[in-house]
Structure 1
Amino acid sequence: MSGFPSPGGGGFEFMSTLFPIFFIIVLGLIIFSIIRSGARYVSNASSPRKSIYATIISKRMDVQNHAHTHAGDNMHTTHSSRTYYYITLQFDNGERKEYLDVKNIYGLVAEGDIGYAATQGDWIVAFERDMQVSPGGSRF
């Protein structure tokens, strides 16, 4: 019986060892991502709210699309998307920082607006326009 591979050997053993390792790595990455997102949310939610005088210098949207394929009698794909809105502020000292809009103020503000921004961690939660400032940026 020389020259013939033994039953159950070779490539099958390699795949039966590789699949559980791959599965554990992918599962670990998913769990890590969920924990990291939760920790970021808790950190932002527990941060003190600050009011900072700033200028809105830019706004941007980040659209994330996801496709989910469902197996079964009729194979079909479900598409979903989520849009994240970001507002970048510039402070009196020249520093700039981008904040995630969690209170839907994106459509209520414009680039160039000057006023008091309420921030909480990495979130912008309110913006009150300074009505004493002219469109050119100087006070009346």
Structure 2
Amino acid sequence: MQSWTEMFGVVETALPILFVVILGILAATAAGGLLRAIGNHRQPVLSVHSVIVGKRTEVSHRHDTDTSVNRSDTKYYMTFEVESGDRLEFAVSGVEYGQCAEGDEGKLTFQGRRYHGFERSVRTYRTELQEYRKFHSSG
């Protein structure tokens, strides 16, 4: 069995190593976020014609057992298809998510992976909605 002084020696060695590892993880995470932000900032702001081809939500639940409080957070995402056929997914606000529907066409504005907005095109509602439903129900 180890004596208290031997065990304290192990803790005295392990604690600084653990501290350095935690600092390293935090620094790497911060550097990654900073590099991503710089990369987005260097990209040009683009506005392209696109169609909303998908919408999804991501809900996370948390329960605090001490106070019996349940919390949930929802993240909203929309997928756009641009004229080249590429699909781009962006996180959007709940308000914008609720105001848009799959099949909406308009101008998508973005910078790198940063979403700036979507401006729907004016369209004749009945005809295009019927065409959209017909196309998506057949295949």
1:85 equivalent among 55, 76, 88:
76
Would the alpha carbon gap of residues 66 and 21 (structure 1) be closer, same or farther in structure 2, given more than 3 Å must change?
A: farther
1:62 corresponds to which residue? 58
- C-alpha spacing 1:6/1:129, structure 2 compared with 1 (3 Å): closer
| Number of corresponding residues | 127
Label 1:103 to 1:6 Cα distance change in 2 as closer, same or farther (>3 A). Answer: closer
Aligned partner of 1:60: which letter? R
Q: TM-score, normalised by structure 1?
A: 0.67
C-alpha distance 102-34 of structure 1, shift in aligned 2 (>3 A)? farther
Paired letter, 1:15? V
Q: CA shift at 1:5, angstroms?
A: 6.5
The 8 Å contact of residues 100 and 122 in structure 1, kept in 2 or not, is answered as no
1:52 equivalent to 2:53? Answer no
Higher helix share: 2
SS in 1 for 2:58: strand
| Equivalent position to 1:8, from 5, 8, 22 | 5
Cα deviation, residue 29, structure 1: 0.6
Bigger radius of gyration: 1
Quote the residue 1:114 is aligned against.
105
**CA RMSD of superposed structures (Å):** 3.3
Aligned-residue identity in percent: 29
Gaps of 5+ in 2: 133-139
